[in-house]
Chains A and B, each alone.
Chain A
Amino acid sequence: MTRTEVPAIGEPGRAAVELGAGRPTRFPGPADHELSECRVPGASVRAASVRGLMHRYRDQPRQDSFSVVWDEPTRTLVLAVCDGVGQFELSQEAAAFAALVTPRAYLAHRDWPTAFTEINKRLAEFVAAPSGDALLGPAPADARMATTLAAAAVRIGPDGRHASVAWTDDSSVWQLDDGRWWNLTPDPDAEPDSGLYTGRVKALPHADPRLRTAEHPLTEGPLFLMTDGVGVPLQGSAQVRETLAGWWAGPPDVFTFARQVGFARKGHMDDRTAIGVWFEPESS
């Protein structure tokens, strides 16, 4: 166990072991960590967003956000994870706003491209006129904000389970089936032809957002939405895949889930957000 009381997967790295709590940020808005759990007919949900080591080190706030909504008439879970772009000082506001408006936009249109068009437009308006309420002082003149977004509408009906997923950039959706991870949101542009890693995104709001959508019938295995703080090590490491598959074969209690989402691994210091949906066996 590291000093930050999160489990390590592999080599934790010095930052996870040596960095303690820092000063509070100048943004009274987002808490360091945010947790949710709920149960709906046919599924249990755990969600956690954990402030990354680098944001703690730099006295900056967590810039990830998420939302979980259940629409009873259509038996649909609407889930969203957002990753504020770290190079912009106010991106936590963009991430929080996008997570907030995504469920309503989807339920209004029942179509991700239309919903994303609305989310992108509303986010552009929000970015153009930030309230400044989340700041202790006046907003810097050059303060900017942007966010990635991955969302899923998961229908849990008597005729089975189905996920409509939509995403921009590197936030992702995965299904865990019999111990194997399946990426439902593959990014063909993730590895540039230079062979070097860039991590660059084309975040929202954007005049030409890089939106992708997909439809997936679901097996009984749990479904996960995650920001790249979890998705990158999951994609890049067999050890992370195996460990998380073991931890998340069934729904942990929400506090355990949050500690697991915040696992320590050398070189991975980003904010971490994951929503897990564990399905109950279908009645025959």
Chain B
Amino acid sequence: MSEQATEGQIVMPFYIVCDVSGSMCGDMAQLNAGVQALRDEIMKDPVADDLAMLSIIAFDSTARTVVPLDTPSEMAMQPLQCGGATNYTSAFQEFHRAFTADRARLKAEGKRVFRPCIFFLTDGDPTSTDHGQVFQQLLAYDPVTKQGNKAYPYVTPFGFRTASEASMKALAYPTFGEKKGRYFRAKDGTSIGSLLKEMAGMIATSVLGSTMSATTNTLQYTPPAVNASPVMEGSILD
């Protein structure tokens, strides 16, 4: 299909950022199954498949785009591999690099790109120490001074195992406006496999809900409801 055939297309970009550090090595089968199920669920819906684009970014000591941003039914899925530390900084840097390139490519193809959304899945607190500073430098925006990244993302983190509530709260974005960030932390006593399946379902529901908002040429990010899951505790930033 030529670029001309989709020029002007409206695109809502979603990035699934997955922690694949060493502590996740025992969960990779469930994580890969969850990501596949998430993609399949979205792909089943022709409206979501027309409007949403998904990308998978993996991070441990470093970060890389495992599946580039694409229409769900056309994604070239790759299995995630584990190993290494929990470097949030590299994840932010890779998202920033990937979205900057994706946006330039999509705009060059004549597509109209909505604000990106990040679903950030992690099982631990960061081993990096400068991730907060890097987030502010690369991704954050100040609506008062109008300084920073005007194309800032919505960030919805999901934490489990040793990922603390404080870390998840610090990741949620934006911290201003009508759509303040929200974050989710696993309740105790739930198996990792069940949690990963649950998170995949919550993300799929969020993507489907966001694309369903397109009653006009406007799309609205529809984050997971804070009470969407019996095994995840959801909170909205104050």
- List residues of A whose CB falls within 8 A of some B CB: 10-11, 13-15, 17-19, 52-55, 57-58, 60, 63, 83, 85-87, 170, 192-201, 228-229, 232-233, 235-240, 265-271
Contacts and interface: CB of A to CB of B under 8 A. Distances in A.
Instruction: Say what secondary structure dominates the interface of chain B.
Output: loop
B137 interface: no
Q: How many interface residues does chain B have, given as a range?
A: 20 to 34
Contacts of B150: 192-196
Given A195-B107, A196-B151, A87 B218 contact: yes
Given A19-B47, A58-B212, A271-B216, 4 more contacts: A197-B10, A236-B112, A267-B8, A267-B9
A270 B8 CA distance: 13
Interface in B2-17: 2, 4-11
B229 to A, nearest CB: 24
21 contacts: A10-B6, A14-B49, A19-B46, A52-B215, A57-B212, A86-B215, A87-B218, A170-B217, A195-B103, A196-B114, A198-B218, A200-B218, A228-B216, A229-B217, A237-B8, A238-B4, A265-B9, A266-B6, A267-B11, A269-B214, A271-B216
B115 interface: yes
B46 A268 contact: no
Which residue, A83, A235, A266, A271, has most C-beta atoms of chain B within 10 A?
Answer: A266
B46 A239 contact: no
B219 interface: yes
B5 A239 contact: yes
Nearest to A195: B151
Contact of B217 (A15, A192, A228, A266): A228
Contacts of A85: 216
Contact of B47 (A83, A229, A237, A269): A269
B216 A83 contact: yes
A201 B217 CA distance: 10
B47 A268 contact: no
